[in-house]
Structure 1
């Protein structure tokens, strides 16, 4: 079950990060764009962890 939880949280962070990046670009706010990029990368990492857990059967 940890696989699904990590994957969903990761997807949520990726989406939120993309929204922040778009808002930062629209407002010409580099700080918000950077924050969004960091959140997107966090989401990608969470999804990767979910995939590893799935491959190892949640033994991680």
Structure 2
């Protein structure tokens, strides 16, 4: 199963909250970056899945 960035988003949120709780702006920022990385992975995974699905449909149409 593909993670699609979920792990990065969860870890990022945890880092961000820890940074806020301790007033550690660097850790808070790192958390935000990690969440953004997770979102990018999610979008990339979804786009890849759509492209693969479209290719399979096209392939079946060519054979049929």
TM-score range, shorter chain: 0.7 to 0.9
Which of 24, 36, 43 aligns to 2:19? It is 24
| RMSD of aligned Cα (Å) | 1.6
Structure 1 moving runs of 4+ over 6 Å: none
Q: Which runs of 5+ in 1 are unaligned?
A: none
1:1-60 superposed matches below 5 A? 4-5=1-2, 8-57=3-52
> Rg larger in 1 or in 2?
2
Under a length normalisation based on structure 1, what TM-score does the superposition of the two structures give? 0.82
Higher relative contact order (CA 8 A, sep 6+): 1
How many residue pairs are counted as aligned between the two chains?
54
